[in-house]
Amino acid sequence: MSEYQIVHNPRCSKSRQTLALLQENGIEPTIIEYLKEPLTAAEIESIASKLAEGVESMVRRKEPLYKELGLSEQTPSATEWAQLLTKHPKLIERPIVINGNAARIGRPPETVLELL
């Protein structure tokens, strides 16, 4: 298994750009297609612990489902966010690149270069 992982949606242009950027730098990450195999709440919390901003930064606020669920009017705890992201993986911001104890959201894709 690669030391790098990418939480990836192949239909997302930013996710594809981030994967290509890693590959251009000689990195073949383990690809986690979270829409095919949803992450568990524990996996989400683990990834969030590696992000400087925590689990709330993993939420796609521009996703229509975010508004449909009325999440802008709520203040879920980190555990509640993790459970929501497990139940609704479309709400996970992508891509997320993980290397050891550090992770970065690839928006913009160049952000993940900090992990190299």
Closest CA to 41 of 99, 80, 98: 80
Contact 113, 104 (CB under 8 A): no
Contact 107, 14 (CB under 8 A): yes
Determine which one of 4, 6, 11, 12 is catalytic: 12
Interstrand relation of 30-32 and 96-99 (parallel, antiparallel or unpaired): unpaired
Residue 12 falls in the annotated catalytic set: yes
Q: Which two tokens stand for residue 115?
A: 């992990």
Give 11's contacts (C-beta < 8 A, 6+ positions apart): none
Interstrand relation of 4-7 and 96-99 (parallel, antiparallel or unpaired): antiparallel
Q: What are the residue numbers of the active site? A: 12
